[in-house]
Amino acid sequence: MADRPQRRNRTPKHATVVRTERLTPHMIRVVLAVDPASALEIGAHTDHYVKLLFPPEGVTYPEPLDIEAIRRDLPSEQWPRTRTYTVRAWDEASRELTVDFVHHGDEGLAGPWAAAARPGESVHFMGPGGGYAPDPTADWHLLAGDESALPAIAAALEQLPPGAPAKVFVEVAGLDEEQKLPTAGEADIVWLHRGGGPIGAALVEAVTALDFPAGDVQVFVHGEAGFVKELRRHLRLDRAVPRERLSISGYWRRGADEDGWQASKREWNDEVEREQER
Ligand SMILES: Cc1cc2nc3c(=O)[nH]c(=O)nc-3n(C[C@H](O)[C@H](O)[C@H](O)COP(=O)(O)OP(=O)(O)OC[C@H]3O[C@@H](n4cnc5c(N)ncnc54)[C@H](O)[C@@H]3O)c2cc1C
């Protein structure tokens, strides 16, 4: 997630829910039809993401949505709340944008929204941003994440060049959360079942125990901020992976909603950087 959305990508776009599908007990696919007037530059990255906008209960905005006017004219409690989601797929011809939501319970905005979404429902979003795509010149790829990063990992696997070697670790709650992950790459995909264990513990164990193949590795590690922090330290310090070969960030943080996590993220990242320099 290196690039922030360009300024033009901060213009809200409008979309309508076309259909939804429960891929697994806790993963809901929502397919959106994006209005023809909204230009979307999607394709350069496999971790493209959009920021869905959720108005607070009882608040409506004039159309077309003008974020700058909202921020200028309304008190902050009435600003839309944003939730960040990977573009799992984008079909330019049909203008269908596919997003896979973890339904992590009744808490939050986006998870419950996806669970209740019905065809015809409206949603606004900003973006896309993005910053990673498999580099065809890498000797091998390491991809690791929890359910929240699974859409981006699946999209990356679809773009792996034929025969490209990849070690892939995906942590999910259990067997019924596994998905088919098509790829032309030579991918060794390991599903880790969390069961009742702490989020990310199995990922940290698996990646630290990995017998690293030789050569230039390109890394994509995302998910809950706690395990991401541990793996960042491990990959930078113990494995000496160069910073520019690492796409690694906390997608969410246990105990914080996205507003809280995004507000503390800079401080958190600075702290991680300081620890690594000690
Ligand atoms: C670049 C990027 C791409 C992302 N792509 C995806 C994606 O494709 N699919 C996806 O599902 N998520 C994705 N995420 C993560 C998603 O933005 C967060 O999980 C977000 O907090 C969910 O919003 P919410 O409204 O459902 O819950 P919030 O209101 O933000 O949080 C409510 C509570 O739920 C907890 N929580 C949040 N997410 C999870 C989770 N995954 N599992 C368990 N508990 C959770 C929080 O800690 C909090 O206690 C992405 C994040 C980033 C930064």
pLDDT, tens digit, for every residue of 116-175?
A: 999 999 999 999 999 999 999 999 999 999 999 999 999 999 999 999 999 999 999 999
HEC string for 202-266: HHHHHHHHCCCCCCCEEEEEEEEHHHHHHHHHHHHHHCCCCHHHEEEEEEECCCCCHHHHHHHHH
Is pLDDT of 264 > 90? no
Name residue, tokens 């209960």: 57
Q: How confident is the model at residue 8 (pLDDT cuts 50, 70, 90)?
A: low
For the segment 78-107, the average pLDDT, to the nearest whole number, is 97
Distance (angstroms) between ligand 1 centre and the Cα of 100 equals 11
Which ligand 1 atom sits nearest the alpha carbon of residue 258?
A: 30
Contact yes or no for 207/236 (Cβ under 8 A): no
| Euclidean distance between CA atoms 236 and 246, whole angstroms | 9
* Span 43-83, pLDDT tens digits: 999 999 999 999 999 999 988 899 999 999 999 999 999 99
pTM for the predicted model, two decimal places = 0.95
* Mean predicted lDDT score pLDDT of the chain: 93
| Euclidean distance between CA atoms 266 and 32, whole angstroms | 31
Structure-token pair, residue 261: 């996590």
Contact yes or no for 177/27 (Cβ under 8 A): yes
Q: Whose CA is nearest to atom 49 of ligand 1?
A: 255
Please give the sequence-ordered ranges of beta strands (E in DSSP) within 55-119, or none if there are none. 81-86, 89-91, 96-102
Pocket test for ligand 1, best of 30, 51, 252, 254 (most atoms within 8 A of CB): 252
Indicate the pairing of strand 13-24 with strand 217-224.
unpaired
Letter string b/e over residues 64-88, b meaning 16 or more CB atoms within 10 A of that residue's CB: ebebeebeeeeeeeebbebbbbbbb
Quick one: pLDDT at residue 2?
45
Q: Which of 200-209, 226-235, 268-277 shows the lowest mean pLDDT across its residues? A: 268-277
List the beta bridge partners of residue 144: 169, 221
